Amino acid sequence: MRISVSGTANVGKSTLIKDFLKEWDMYTTPEKTYREFIQEQNLPHSSSTTKESQWQILNFTIDSMQQYQKGDKVIYDRCPLDSLAYTMWAYDKGTSDIDKEFVNKCIPIVRESLRMLDVIFLIPLTAAAPIPIEKDDMRDIDETFIKEIDHIFKGFEQQYFQDTRNSPFFPTEDCPAIVEIFGSREQRLHLIKQYIDAEGDLIGETGSSILGEEVLDMEQILRDQQQQLNKEKAQYNELMRQIQATKRR
């Protein structure tokens, strides 16, 4: 099972991976992280990214994925879809040298690379269990930027569920599943256990849920999340307009 943990900055991706590896110790994760690569190459990133940075980051994530094959148990911190989200943000904002030609160059590469994943656990911003923003040398802590990247991920997710076959971002075959993971650290692990069994394999359609009702009120969490998504509906619609415009170019 090849898994990516994806999402905007400051949503707890690295923490989730650490918790995941404690729970499923048969999994591995690439030796060098995305953050270490950026530091090693001294790349501008996040809201300060450039065409060269995004190209190197995209190639790094793909190279990391190519070290494993179907059947391996590996979990990645981000995937090529993350790189595309930041590329599209920079292009839309006009904050760097990233242009239409570069975006169109990246999209098919990202689409084909996703065949090397089985599941993308997407961590959204949600009112159910907000994560406090923590400052360090690698994090962009601007709340507007973090939310805008989150909106792009949610736009990807909407296309995935509404019309994957005609989406420019996902392969029509061998497409990974996208699963939202949210809540506290404990709640996130319990959600993952809806999909991954004790041996680290994907639970089949007939697999029984092992989420204990006495531990979580998931229905309330889902309701809270839906309320938050409804508030952002106008922003989603605008993002979808931008994605469709990119597709037509």
Question: C-alpha 147: how far from its chain's center?
Answer: 14
pLDDT tens for 199-238 read: 999 987 433 333 333 333 444 444 455 555 555 555 556 6
CATH number where 64 lies:
3.40.50.300
Q: How many domains does the chain have?
A: 1
Query: What is the distance between the alpha carbons of residues 139 and 130, in angstroms, rounded to a whole number?
Result: 17
pLDDT tens digit string along 111-139?
Answer: 999 999 999 999 998 755 555 555 555 55
- Rounded distance between C-alpha atoms, residue 21 and residue 9, angstroms: 21
Helix (H, G, I), strand (E, B) or coil at 4: strand
What is the extent of the structural domain holding 36?
A: 2-248
Please tell me the pTM assigned to this model: 0.80
